[in-house]
Amino acid sequence: MAPTALCKQIVIVLLILWLVIIPAYIFAVPVPSPPANTANNGLAVADNDGTLYYLDLTGDIYAGGQENIYRLRPGEARPVTISTDEAWSLTISGKYLYYSNWSDQHHIYRMQFDGTEKTKIGSQPASQLTVVGNWLVYINWRNDNSTPSNTIYKLALDGQSEPQKLCDDQAENLTIAGNWVYYLNASDGYKLYKIKLDGTSRSKIADDQVLFMAVADNTIYYSNYSDNQKLYAISTNGQGRTKLTDDQAGFINVANGFVYFTNTSANHALYRINLNNHNQQLVCDLGIGPQPIILIGNSVYYNRLFFTP
C-alpha cells in the first residue's frame, strides 16, 4: 500500500479513537505547549489539570459553519462548546482563557474556563497573543496600510492600563522564549529579530529572509526564503547557522526533540526531523495545503485532528 494511502487510513483510525477512546487518557496529566504554538495561531491550549481548550468547526463550512471554542476535560468522552466566538490565539493565565476574538474585530477577550465572565480587555485588534507573567504580548494586527501597523505591544492582564508598544517594527511570527520576543521584521525584509520584553536590546539575528520560524532551547528553526525555503537552524545569538534539509518548509513547530514542518516539496505533507540524528520522516499527508502545527504534550493538533505520531 502506498505511504500516502496508509497515512490517510491511519488518520481515519486516529479520528475514531479521538472521538471514542483517546479523550479519556491523552490529556490526563498536565501538558506543556511550546512557544511556537503562538506563531501557529494558537489553535489549542491545555490547562495545568490537563483540560484541553481548542478551536473546531461547528457545522458545514460551506453552509456557514464557523470555528467555536471547545473544552475537553480528562476522562470525558465528548467535548463541550464553551463559546460560539470565532477565535485564534488561545492562551491561559490563572483562572482565565484569553483569546483574539475574530467575532469582534480581533479584540482581546478573556473568560473563565466554563465560558462565563466573558470580558473584552483590549481595544486593539490582536494576533499571535500570548501570556508572559503579568502581561499579554501580541501584534497589533491591522490588515491595511496604516502607519504604524502590525507592531508589537504588551498589555496588563487586567486590561486596566494603556498598552505599551515595544518597537516600531512591523512584525510577524511572534514567539516568546525566556525574556525575549523573537519575530520576523517585515520592515527589514522579514529578517530574524529579537527584543527584550521591556523594549530594550533590539537586534537583528541573521540576514536571511525568512518565511516562518519557531524557537526552542536557544535555537531558531526557520524556513529560509533566501535559500528556496529550505529548513535552517541558528542560535538565538546568531551563531551556528545550519541547513537541516533541502526540503522546502512552510509552517514550523518544535518540541520533544523534533522539528515539525509542512513540507512544500512533498505536497505540503506534515514531516518531522529528529534533532539527535537528523532522520526525517513523514508524519501525515492529508492531501491538503499547509496548516498550522500545534503541539501539546506528545500530541499534534493538525487540520482539526488530534493524534500522537
Residue pLDDT, tens place only, 112-143: 999 999 999 988 999 999 999 999 999 998 76
Residue 254 CA, distance from chain mean position: 11
What is the pairing mode between strands 230-235 and 242-255?
antiparallel
**Contact indicator for 292, 34 with CB cutoff of 8 Å:** no
CATH number of 35-307: 2.120.10.30
pLDDT for residue 174: 96
Residue pLDDT, tens place only, 198-225: 999 999 999 999 999 999 999 999 999 9
One-letter amino acid identity for 174?
A: L
**Contact indicator for 161, 155 with CB cutoff of 8 Å:** yes
Confidence of residue 51 (pLDDT cuts 50, 70, 90): very high
Stated pTM of the model = 0.87
Please give the helix or strand (H or E) that residue 253 lies within, else none.
strand 242-255
Grid cell listed for 57: 468547526
d(CA 273, CA 264): 15
**Mean pLDDT value of segment 7-14:** 48
Q: Domain ranges in the chain?
A: 35-307
